[in-house]
């Protein structure tokens, strides 16, 4: 579904991502973890077409999409839930969802209506606040809206950047089961998460980034048992 080879991202002379290789298979749930400044968000922005890579190749769904713009990536089936939610605060919940489906409007109106019903079923709080301005929602509700908005484009791959940012654990306990259920239905998901314990508990494979590079990758259970991860990200050392 997604394949990165030697991807680099630079802001002037500062190289934020340094030659990253990464893959997400069809129907896979893959995580990327690391501390602040590791390059995770810059990598996701390159994948989603928000920034142009300084080097390397990005392939999506069998095509070379290196340097494609974000609206082109959405049309191809890649949707990103950005760090910080970035909902349209002065628009209603309903309008935010409709904006998420903009590539389908006029071509798949019955499908949009069906998907609207589905996401409101996944997030009943949004159904209760459908005509409320998005800027008046709580942080958790805005994250629900950001995910639902991404789903309205009917993506093949959903990229989620820092799901847990600013959210209470009880909200995360609502969100992660929804993502797991979507993945079981066949949706490919790439999850970037600073709270490694959450990401490692739901993903099949995980990449660990540090200083713009991938320093470790593998099955999530194996990554979780690595002493470096135990010490740096999970807050405990290997008992051995």
The range of the structural domain enclosing residue 56 comes to 1-77+155-240
Give 144-188 pLDDT, tens digit per residue.
Answer: 999 999 999 999 999 999 888 888 888 889 999 999 999 999 999
Claim to verify: residue 119 and residue 227 sit in the same structural domain: no
135 and 27: one domain? no
What's the confidence (pLDDT) of residue 83? 83
* Total structural domains within the chain: 2
pLDDT of residue 235: 59
| 110 and 38 belong to one structural domain | no
DSSP string across 2-37: EEEEEEEEEETTEEEEEEEEEEE-TT-EEEEE--TT
82 domain residue, yes or no: no
Q: What does residue 50 show for φ and ψ, rounded to 5 degrees? A: -75, -35
One domain for residues 72 and 116: no
pTM above threshold 0.75: yes
CATH of the domain at 216: 3.40.50.300
> Is 210 contained in some domain?
yes
Residue 237 has pLDDT above 60, yes or no: no
Specify whether 30 is located in the same domain as 65.
yes
pLDDT (mean) for 32-45: 91
């Amino acid at each position: 579904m997604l394949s990165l080879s030697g991807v680099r991202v630079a802001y002037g002379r500062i190289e934020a991502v340094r030659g990253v290789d990464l893959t997400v298979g069809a129907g896979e749930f893959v995580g990327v973890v690391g501390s602040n400044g590791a390059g995770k968000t810059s990598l996701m922005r390159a994948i989603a077409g928000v920034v142009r890579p300084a080097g390397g190749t990005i392939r999506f769904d069998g095509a070379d999409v290196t340097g494609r713009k974000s609206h082109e990536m959405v049309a191809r089936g890649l949707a990103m839930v950005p760090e910080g939610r970035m909902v349209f605060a002065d628009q209603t919940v309903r309008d935010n969802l409709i904006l998420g489906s903009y590539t389908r409007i006029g071509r798949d109106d019955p499908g949009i209506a069906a998907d609207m019903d589905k996401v409101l079923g996944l997030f009943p709080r949004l159904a209760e606040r459908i005509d409320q301005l998005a800027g008046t929602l709580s942080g958790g509700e805005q994250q629900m809206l950001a995910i639902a908005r991404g789903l309205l484009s009917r993506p093949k791959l959903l990229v989620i950047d820092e799901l847990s940012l600013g959210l209470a654990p009880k909200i995360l306990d609502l969100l992660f089961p929804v993502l797991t259920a979507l993945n079981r239905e066949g949706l490919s998901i790439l999850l970037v998460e600073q709270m490694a314990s959450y990401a490692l508990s739901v993903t099949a494979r995980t990449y660990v980034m540090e200083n713009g590079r991938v320093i470790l990758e593998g099955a999530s259970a194996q990554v979780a048992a690595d002493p470096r991860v135990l010490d740096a990200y999970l807050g405990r050392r290997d008992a051995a």
